[in-house]
Amino acid sequence: MGPNTAARRRPRQSSPAAESAIALTVAGSDTSAGAGIQADLKTFSALGVYGLTAITCIVAEIPGKVSELEPIDPVMVRKQIQVLFDAFRISAAKTGLLCRSETISAVAGILRTKNVQLVVDPVMIATSGDQLLSPGALDAYERELFPMATLITPNLDEAATLLGGEEIADRSSMAKAARRLGKRYGAPVLLKGGHLHADIALDVLCRDGKITEFSAPFVPGIATHGTGCTYSAAITAGLASGLSLCASIDRAKHFVTRSIRRHLRWKAVSGAPIDTLNQFG
Ligand code: PXL
C-alpha cells in the first residue's frame, strides 16, 4: 500500500456549491408538460435557477386539446405560496394560468406582502382556442394583480381583450396598445407580437412611456404550445439572477426561439404529429 492510498480513498471534498437564485411559478399543471408549471420548471432549470411551484389548477390536456380543467382551492394556493416564502429566499416570481377571480385575489393578496419581483403572464386562452380563464376574472387581474407587476406579458389576443377588442395589426398599433396598457396599469408591459410579421417575431416593451423593441427570427411550421409560459419563465429566471428587465427579456427571447427550433416531434397514437418545445437552454 503506498503512502497516498488512504488519502486517495477518502471521498473527495466537493467545493461548496454557489448559492442558486430561486424563482417561484404560480401556475397550472399541463399534463402534456409543454406549457404551465412544467414548462416553467424546465426553463428555470435550463437557466440555472432553482424553481419552486404553487399549483393553481390541473389541466388534463394534450397539445391542441384541453379535456378538463380542475381548479385548486384558492386557500390551498395561498398556503403553497406562504410555506415557500417562509422557507426560501425567493427573488422573482411569475404567475401563469390562475383560472378564476378568487385565485387571482388570493395570489395578489399574499404576493403584495412579499418583496419580490413579479412577472404576470395573463393567460386567458390555450393555443388550441380553449378558454382557460373564467369570465369576470379580468376585473380581478386589472384591479389587483397588474398594478403590482414588475412586468405584464400579454400576447396580441390578450391585449386586444384588455383593450375591449381593439385591433392590433402592425408595429405602430402594437406600440400604441402597449403604451395604453402600461399607462392604465402603471406597470411595464411587454406586448408579444407572435406571428404578426412574416419573418420576425417582434415584441414591444413599454416602460414609463418609453418603447423598446425585441425581435428574433420567426421559426415557421411548428405547431406547439407553451411559448408564452416559457418566455415569461425565462424572464423571471433572468430577474431572479439579477439581470435587468431589458437584459432578462432579451435573453428570454433568444431562449424561446432556441427552444422552438429544437422542438421535439413525435407521432401521437392517432398518427397525427405533435410538436413540443425543448427547453434545453
Ligand atoms: O399556454 C397556456 C397554458 C398555460 N398554463 C397551462 C396550460 C396552458 C395551455 O394549455 O394548460 C396549465
265 bridge partner residues: 275
The residue whose C-alpha atom lies closest to atom 11 belonging to ligand 1 is 30
pLDDT at 269: 87
Q: Is 213 helix (H, G, I), strand (E, B) or coil?
A: strand
Ligand 1 centre to CA of 149 (Å) is 20
Q: Are 218 and 202 in contact (CB under 8 A)?
A: no
pLDDT at 10: 52
The residue whose C-alpha atom lies closest to atom 2 belonging to ligand 1 is 126
DSSP 4-57: THHHHHSPPPPPPPPPPPEEEEEEEEETTSSSHHHHHHHHHHHTT-EEEEEEEE
Check pocket membership of 140 for ligand 1, CB cut-off 6 A: no
Q: Which of 34, 182, 228, 238 is catalytic?
A: 228
> What is the position in ligand 1's atom list of the atom closest to the CA of 37?
12
Q: How far is CA 201 from CA 217, 218, 260, in A?
A: 6, 5, 12
Alpha-carbon span 109 to 81, nearest angstrom: 11
The burial class, CB within 10 Å (0-12 / 13-18 / 19+), for 109 is: middle
Look up 176 and say whether it is catalytic: no
Alpha-carbon span 93 to 90, nearest angstrom: 7
Which residue positions in the chain have pLDDT lower than 50?
A: 1-8, 11, 13
Distance, C-alpha 47 to centroid of its chain = 13
State pLDDT tens for residues 231-265.
Answer: 999 999 999 999 999 999 999 999 999 999 988 88
Q: Is 19 helix (H, G, I), strand (E, B) or coil?
A: coil
State pLDDT tens for residues 79-113.
Answer: 999 999 999 999 999 999 999 999 999 999 999 99
HSE value, Cβ hemisphere, 13 Å, CA-based, for 91: 17
Query: Please, what is the Cα angle at 38 between 248 and 127, to 5 degrees?
Result: 85
pLDDT at 193: 93
Q: Which of 25, 227, 230, 257 is catalytic?
A: 227
pLDDT at 42: 97
Ligand 1 centre to CA of 193 (Å) is 18
Check pocket membership of 34 for ligand 1, CB cut-off 6 A: no
**Rg of the Cα trace of the chain?**
20
**pTM for this predicted structure:** 0.93
Give the cell for residue 49: 435557477
Distance, C-alpha 198 to centroid of its chain = 24
Q: Would you mind telling me the total number of residues written for the chain in this entry?
A: 281
Look up 226 and say whether it is catalytic: yes
Check pocket membership of 234 for ligand 1, CB cut-off 6 A: no
Among 224, 232, 229, 180, which Cα is nearest to 206's?
A: 180
Look up 95 and say whether it is catalytic: no
Alpha-carbon span 216 to 250, nearest angstrom: 9
> What is the position in ligand 1's atom list of the atom closest to the CA of 226?
1
Q: Which of 42, 94, 192, 253 is catalytic?
A: 192
Give the cell for residue 205: 416593451
Look up 229 and say whether it is catalytic: yes
